[in-house]
Structure 1
Amino acid sequence: MKPRRSLLEDDPLDDFEPRTITLDGVLKTVHVAGTGPAVIVMAEMPGISPHVARFGRWVRDAGFTVYMPSLFGRDGAVPEVEEGKAILRRACVSAEFRALASRQSSPVTQWLRSLARLAHEACGGPGVGAIGMCFTGNFALTMMLERSVLAPVLSQPSLPFDDPAGLEIAPEEIDAVRRRLEREDLTVLAYRFEGDRFCKAQRFAAYAEALGERFVARVLPDSAAGRDALAPFFEQVVASPHSVVTAHLIDEAGQPTIAARDEILSFFAHRLAS
C-alpha cells in the first residue's frame, strides 16, 4: 500500500508525465497518467494543488487516462495566500479567461476542446470526460461543443465573479449544448456547497433554466465540508465551503463529498464504457 502524500506539502507530480502540447498555435504543459478512456481534469484556482492532483489520481486509478492541463499557477504547489491572490489577479485580466463577463465563453475553452479531440484520438473509446472546478468550473460545459466530450462535470462553477446568476458561456453556445444533450440523451453533473460564496443558488437556477432536466444538480450541506488540512489560500481567501472534490473533501467512508467523488467516477465509467 502506497503511503499517503501530504496535502500540505508541494506535490512533485512525479507519477504524471509532463507533456508540452501545442494546439491552435498555443503551447501548454499537460500532466498525463493512466490508461483507458481520457478524462480532462481542470484545476481550480490557484492551480494544480496537491488536492487537485489527488483527485486526478483517483480518476486514474478508476481506469482512465488523466489529462491535467496547467492553466495557471505553479504545478503541484500548496496554495498560499499572496501567491494565490497574484495568480487570481493575473487570470482575471488574461485574454484567455472571461472572469467578469456573463454570456461569454473563455477563449481557453477552444484550446481545451482541441485537447479533448487529441486525447480521444490517443486513448480511444466512445469519448472523453471533463471536469472543471471553481474558475474552470463551466469549461466542461463549453467543451461539449466538441463532439468527443460525453461526460461533463461542473464542480462549483464560479465565473463570472460579478454576477451570481450569470453563466460563463455565450447564449448561442449553451443553446447548441442543450440541443446536443437532448439529441444524444446526455446529462451534465454539477456540484456545490449550499453556503458557497462564489457559486450560489442563483447560478444553478440559471443552469437549470438553460438546460432543463439535462442539468443534474447536487447541493451539499455546509456541514459536509472538511475544514482540516486546508491550505492558507482556502482558509483565508476562499473562506467558505467551496471545493467539493478537492480542498473541502473529507476522505472518509460515508461522507457526502466521498459520495460525490464516487458518483463522478461512476458517471465517467458509464459514459465512457466501450
Structure 2
Amino acid sequence: MGLIDSWSLGEHTADGMTFPTYRKGNGPGAIVIHEIPGLTDDVIGFGDEVVEAGYTVVMPQLFGKIGGPFALTNVVKAMSGVCVRKEFTKLATRETTPMAEWLRSLARELHGELGGPGVGALGMCFTGGFALAMMVDESVAAPVLCQPSVPFPVGKTRAADLNLSPGDLAKVKERAAAGCEVLGLRFTGDAAVGTRFDTLTTELGPAFIKVEFPGRQHSTVTTHRQQEAVDRVLAFFDEKLSV
C-alpha cells in the first residue's frame, strides 16, 4: 500500500487541459504542487502534514510518477518530459507559464466549494513560482514559493526572472500592496533559485517574507526537509486562511 492510497483521486479540466488530482482532509483549502520528479513519497508526506494541521489539501499530478523515493533516474525522465511540453516555460523571461491558468481555475473551484478568505498555494522547485502566478487570482490568499527555480538560471537575466508576464507581475504587486503577503523558502547556497529572492524583495517589498537556511541543499519541505520550513508554512496558512 502506497502513501497516495489514502487520498481520493479526481481530476480537473480547464483551459483545454485535464490532470489528475489527489484530495484529502477537511478545513480551508490548500493546493500543493509537486516538484520534479513528481508526486514522490516526500511530497505526499508533506501533504499529509498539511492535512493533519487541519486543511483540505489538493495535490495535482502534472508530470512524473506517483510514489517512491526521490531518484535521479526519475528526475531525468521527468525533465525530458517537461522540456518538450508547451504547458511549461523553461527558459523564457517575462512570461507566465501556461499552466498558471489551469492552476488558477483549480484554486477558484476549491475556494468556491470551501469558502473562507481563500486558499493556500504552494509550489516547489520547478513549480515554485507557480504559486506566485496563481496569486493573480483573488481566490489565492496564501502563496508559498519553495525554492522557485524557473526559468532555469542560465545567465543573470533568467536567474532574476519571476516567470511572470509584465501584466501578471503588475497584478501580483497590486495584490501585495493591498496586503496579500508571499512566503518564500530557500537554502542560501541553492544555485537553482538564482537571484529571484532579490527580485521578489525589490518588487514586493515587505510583502515578501523570506525564510532562508544555510547550506547548498534544495528541497526545503521535502527531500532536505527543515522543520522550521514546515512550521512556517503551516503558520502562514493558519494566519491567512483561518475564518
What is the TM-score of this pair, normalised by structure 2? Answer: 0.94
Cross-structure match for 2:196: 203
Of the three residues 168, 171, 179, the one matched with 1:173 is 168
Structure number with larger C-alpha Rg: 1
Equivalent residues of 2:111, 2:139 under 8 A apart:
yes
Contact 2:177 2:204 in 1 (8 A): no
Letter in structure 2 aligned against 1:173: D
* Distance apart, 1:146 and its partner CA: 1.0
Contact kept in structure 1, 2:35 and 2:123, CA below 8 Å = yes
Conserved 8 A contact 1:36-1:63: yes
Query: What does 1:214-229 align with in structure 2 at a 5 Å threshold?
Result: 214-222=207-215
Is the contact made by 2:29 and 2:110 (CA closer than 8 Å) also made in structure 1? yes
* 1:263 and 2:232 are equivalent in the alignment: yes
2:181 to 184, 187, 198: 187
* CA distance 1:12–1:263, change in 2 (3 Å): closer
8 Å contact from structure 1 (residues 128, 151) kept in 2: yes
1:84 corresponds to 2:75: yes
Match of 1:67 in 2: 58
Which runs of 5 or more residues in structure 1 are unaligned? 1-9, 223-239, 250-256
Asked whether the equivalents of residues 187 and 215 of structure 1 are also in contact (C-alpha less than 8 Å), the reply is yes
Q: Deviations over 1:111-169 (max 9, x none)?
A: 00000001111222221000000000001011011111000000000001122222211
Question: Is 1:130 the counterpart of 2:121 in the alignment?
Answer: yes
In structure 2, the residue matched to 1:32 is: 23
CA displacement at 1:216 relative to structure 2: 1.1
User: How big is the alpha-carbon RMSD for the aligned residues of Structure 1 and Structure 2?
Assistant: 1.3
Aligned length: 239
Residue correspondence of structure 1 range 112-123 to structure 2 within 5 A: 112-123=103-114
Give the unaligned 5+ runs of structure 2: none
- Native 8 Å contact 1:11 1:49 kept in 2: no
Letter in 1 for 2:38: G
Q: Which amino acid aligns with 1:260?
A: A
Tell me the CA shift for residue 12 of structure 1: 4.2
TM-score (normalised: structure 1):
0.84
Secondary structure at the residue paired with 2:38?
coil
Question: Which residue type is aligned with residue 244 of structure 1?
Answer: T
Residues 100 and 134, structure 2, Cα contact 8 Å, conserved in 1 = yes
Write the distance in 1 (CA, Å) between the matches of 2:73 and 2:235: 37
Shift of 1:186: 1.7
